[in-house]
Amino acid sequence: MKPATAGATILVGVFGDPVAHSVSPAMHNRAFEALGLDWCYLPFHVSPADLGVALRALPVLGLRGVNLTIPHKEAALAHLDSVEETARLIGAVNTVVQEKGRLAGYNTDAAGFLDTLDEAGFDPGGARAVLLGAGGAARAVAVALAGRDVAALTIIGRTPARGEAIAELVRRRCRGPVTAVAWTPAAVRQELAGADLVVNATPVGMYPRGAEPPPVPARWLPERVFVYDLVFNPPATRLVRAARRRGLRAMGGLRMLVCQGARAFRLWTGREPPRDLMEAAGRRALRARKPPADTV
């Protein structure tokens, strides 16, 4: 089938359910504008039942690619012509590139997370890392950290089997020991005490529940720990603010959203996007949007 063209404008977008609250269109469209590219990024509300049909429509409609967000990241693997190694390992695709009718899947979350650590000047090599949560984001972060030679990786999960599954996945790839621990106050406190890097990969603290207590009390964080909250709305969660008040280095999840998006942008366009402009656009979109969804 001959791919259709969408005039001069090249289209990309995001498939999600829900998708209306995604801040990715604002970030990418700002970058296209800044680089003078005649491209447009659109949100597409795609139900799980329609994912295969929607992906197969990319060449027909002339789309260069899409991001995938909840609930499509795992299911997409079955509908693609190729999947790069990291995405296959994580078991989730967040970026699809359409090239001559073929669909290639990538996961830019893991590399985007590492980009932010590099930007912040934090080297995870040799660090004792503690991951709070054992869902999709924790899986991507665990794969990323295992590839960067952390000295130890502990996954603290509310559902122990999910933490153990992630530990099992990355154990062979990690220089240091990888342990899954059940989420009890005593275990959390003990693991935090020895940490150099703590990553919150739970949605605790996310808008509109931002008033709830942080996932762990800030007073349990040791001196010199680097605190990373993957939650990006609000950009500075209660955990991040409490850690900063204690004089600790702490960052929220918005920059990871920017960096994973920047990698998708490069895969589609071959160009380097202006990350700071993308972040500013993302911040503006977050301020303007209404609850309750938290989709990328």
Residue nearer to ligand NAP on the CB measure, 59 or 235: 235
Residue nearer to ligand NAP on the CB measure, 114 or 204: 204
Name the residue type at position 34.
Answer: A
Question: Cα torsion for 179, 86, 113, 203, to the nearest 10°?
Answer: -60
Window contacting ligand NAP (CB under 6 A); options: 22-30, 119-127, 131-139, 281-289: 131-139
The binding track of 173-212 with respect to ligand NAP, each residue x by CB under 6 A or -, is ----------x-----------------xxxx-x------
Window contacting ligand NAP (CB under 6 A); options: 83-91, 135-143, 237-245, 277-285: 135-143
Question: CA dist 181 to 110, 143, 149, 189, 192, Å?
Answer: 22, 17, 20, 12, 12
Neighbour count for residue 251 (Cβ, 10 Å): 22
Spatial distance between the Cα atoms of 110 and 96, rounded to a whole number of angstroms: 15
Residue nearer to ligand NAP on the CB measure, 55 or 296: 296
Window contacting ligand NAP (CB under 6 A); options: 48-56, 129-137, 185-193, 285-293: 129-137
Encode 135-150 in three state secondary structure: CHHHHHHHHHHHCCCC
Among 16, 25, 59, 136, the residue binding ligand NAP under the rule CB under 6 A is 136
CA atoms within 13 A on the CB side of 211: 1
Strand order in the sheet with 102-106: 39-45, 10-16, 63-68, 95-99, 102-106, 82-83
Residues 62-91 that bind ligand NAP (CB under 6 A): none
Among 52, 71, 135, 210, the residue binding ligand NAP under the rule CB under 6 A is 135
The binding track of 153-172 with respect to ligand NAP, each residue x by CB under 6 A or -, is ----xxx--x----------
Give which of 86, 128, 119 is closest to 105, Cα–Cα: 86
Least Å from the CB of residue 135 to ligand NAP: 2
Q: φ and ψ at 50, to 5 degrees? A: -100, 5
User: From its phi and psi, is residue 153 left (phi > 0), alpha (psi between -120 and 50) or beta?
Assistant: beta
Among 24, 86, 260, 269, the residue binding ligand NAP under the rule CB under 6 A is 260
Catalytic status, residue 2: no
Among 46, 138, 167, 178, the residue binding ligand NAP under the rule CB under 6 A is 138
* Count of residues of this chain found to bind ligand NAP when the rule CB under 6 A is applied: 26
Spatial distance between the Cα atoms of 282 and 287, rounded to a whole number of angstroms: 9
CB 58 within 8 A of CB 65: yes
Among 181, 231, 240, 286, the residue binding ligand NAP under the rule CB under 6 A is 231
Name the packing angle between helices 109-120 and 254-269 (round to 10°). 120
Rule CB under 6 A: say whether 256 interacts with ligand NAP: yes
Active-site residue set: 73
Can you give the binding site for ligand NAP, defined by CB under 6 A? 109, 133-138, 157-159, 162, 183, 201-204, 206, 230-232, 253, 256-257, 260, 294, 296
